[in-house]
Amino acid sequence: MWLVAEDKHVEYAQEVFSIDQSQDGKKLSLLCPTSKQYRRGNSLNQPTLTIDIEAVADGIISVEATHWKGAARKLPNFELFPDGPPSVDASIKNGDAGTTISSGPIAATVSSNPHTFDIRFHSTDNSRKLTSLLDRSVAFAYSPPPGSMMQTGDARDFQHYILTQTTLGVGEQIYGLGERFGALNKVGQSVVLWNADGGTSSDQAYKNVSFWLSNKGYGIFIDTPQRVELEIGSERSCRVQTSIEGQRLKWYIIYGPTPKDVLSRYTTLTGKPNSLPAWSFGLWLTTSFTTEYDENTINGFLEGMRNRDIPLAVFHYDAFWMRPFHWCDFEFMASHFPDPKAQIKRLKESGLVSKISVWINTYIGQASPVFQEAADKGYLLKRKNGDVFQWDLWQAGMGIVDFTNPDACQWFRSKLDALFDIGVDTIKTDFGERIPTKDVQWFDKNVDAERMHNYYAFIYNKLVYEALQDRCGKDEAVVFARAACAGTQRFPLQWGGDCESTFEAMAESLRGGLSLGLCGYSFWSVDIGGFEGYPDPTLYKRWVQFGLLCSHSRLHGSSSYRVPWLIDDDDKTSQGCTAVLQKFAQLKCRLMPYLYSESLEAVKNGWPLSVRAMSLEFPEDRTAWYCDQQFMLGSKILVAPVFDESGEVEFYLPSGRWSSFWDASQTIDGPKWVKEKHNFETLPLHIRQGTILVVGKEGEKRTNYDWTKPENHEVRMYEPDGESSFPLCDPEGKLVAILRTTEDHGAWRVENIEVRVR
């Protein structure tokens, strides 16, 4: 609190000297000297900080702290309010407590006490205190400390930082910040928002999202794609410190009051996820990464899955569909795939699979002629001396596609179009994290290299997603993306990256998915069985159960295949890998009426479909905020994966009566911690009290079918009441009927009370 690092010099805003109010009543500008202004002479040779507070949308206020206003505003910037800025009910009032600016239900009050620095954020009706900026909470810093301010005339010798410290209340917990694999509650952690290809077992992350959610009913979005460092109760235990290198720092405080409300407003600011087609919810099978495969291998896998009655939706060609050292040149390896268009056509016509996916990235090895083509046309990132930026990381002599060049974007899209022409339906957009920042020059000279590092994931995935939309249709596009930053939730879906084949990594992956979902990502997947290593049958089957209850499900590994009969020597018993995969793949098909309805609600509001943190559904339950080994599948189904070889599992049921999906007569009243032991045919799967659940008929093997027809579904009731309802939507997203419960002579029954023309 008192001891500043030896290599830093910090200047804090000490008081609010003056307040300027905008004429439209939407903005305050605070002049904040770094010393108390007791007399006129105190204003000389003294830095100031300017703090702008603005009402930008109902429930959202922006705060921008600036040292030197003349610093250039560098690009790129996040695309905010992509659907257009909403209206705002803003006002500024002066009272005894100070000056208050309100933006719908949220307000900020600047204290009127002389020689103080005190800004409080609260609900407009003053019923809830959110957070605050108090003494020594907004500052800039130099490193190294200048001996004299004359030295800062040559700023090249110094790093300049700006920071804010919002108060962290008693019992307050912080969540989100992207797909993070450590403890779900971030209090006590130092977090760096900087995309890195680090796997799932460290504090590095592929998906750094500059948004965090508090259990106190608000969230904060940090409006910069550059490197952000956060000390979350870890430097000062009662504050969250946010710091960046630069002259200004802007963030938005977003009010709920519920966590669902916060996410809805946050995704209005940064963009809602798009909906996904029903076929994408089915099981995806890949070749795995470094395994040897060709057309015969693929046929063998697909025929093996069909013969074992395991429904597949997508087959994915991973990296080695291209020649070694040539990635990514978009050319099938002729020795293994002499006629890929004909092969893909045969696969689809045979009914073995309906959709095809291929792996790409934006790195191009110099062995490929495509590298020279891109280099000659100026489509690759360059060094400051004009050379193409190259290194031997990943592919020998690889270059990186420069998406700030519009011609490079069109060229890249032409390569994608060629894939679509041969029958490819969806793209796995791998990598995008290893974007250099030193000695690089982007085509767009207004772009700052530091800001491009994280932001590259946005422009990469946006380009591919929009290419798919143009070819397949707005709601038929699907990417399978690894890297992300704020806003990429608009281009679903994302998967968890390279996890190990262990129970610990399975739990790490779940924590990552929960954290990402708390940043407005509706859809998420994971490599079933783990990516690195060789899963034993027990782990594989437990991961199958977990993975088939995520929004999207993919079998994928690194150096070993993931078809079930190779995991356990084709055990044909009911406890074998094949039987377990068959059961849970078919279970997902049966759940599609529920899943698809819930997915439409999720994208409308910016909520996760699965995995959904318990706190979103039960925000008033303190225990729910701590649950990181279970999740909600939509709003009605609770899932508790088994993370132990013994089959034992302990999970928490919030208040209410919960019914087992496997046997509705088995009910448990919460709140309660429950211990159970499960064989491989089941896991804890419990339905919330008051639920009407529409599921497909027993034995359903499709995810894209007309489940609205009575002959294709069954209706279940779980402890219904007079408010139970279910919106039945068809696979195109149209509302067909609303099912509600009515009481009939002491018994409940379901009836259609509304039907719309399809």
Residue 47 near residue 140 (C-beta atoms within 8 A): yes
d(CA 398, CA 409): 18
| Element spanning 57, H or E | strand 48-57
CA dihedral 356→362→368→373, nearest 10 degrees, is: 110
Q: What is the pLDDT of residue 757?
A: 37
Q: What is the pLDDT of residue 755?
A: 47
Q: What is the pLDDT of residue 758?
A: 30
Q: What is the pLDDT of residue 748?
A: 62
Q: What is the pLDDT of residue 721?
A: 86
Residue 578 near residue 570 (C-beta atoms within 8 A): yes
Q: What is the pLDDT of residue 449?
A: 97
- Report the mean per-residue pLDDT for the chain: 96
The parts of the chain modelled with pLDDT lower than 50 are 755-758
d(CA 447, CA 259): 35
Instruction: Name all domains of the chain by residue range, CATH numbers in brackets.
Output: 9-69+87-149 (2.60.40.1760), 278-361+404-605 (3.20.20.80), 632-755 (2.60.40.1180)
What's the number of CA atoms in the CB half-sphere (13 Å) around residue 116? 13
**DSSP tally for the chain: helices H, then strands E:** 11, 40
Strands, E assignment, 119-173: 119-123, 129-133, 138-143, 159-167
| Element spanning 98, H or E | strand 98-103
Q: Crossing angle, helix 592-605 and helix 259-270, to 10 degrees?
A: 70
Tens-digit pLDDT profile for residues 291-309: 999 999 999 999 999 999 9
Where in the sequence numbering do the catalytic residues fall? Answer: 430, 433, 498
Beta strands 314-317 and 283-286, pairing class: parallel
Residue 588 near residue 700 (C-beta atoms within 8 A): no
Q: What's the predicted TM-score (pTM) here? A: 0.97
Where does 430-502 have alpha helices with state H?
Answer: 449-472
Tens-digit pLDDT profile for residues 97-131: 999 999 999 999 999 999 999 999 999 999 999 99
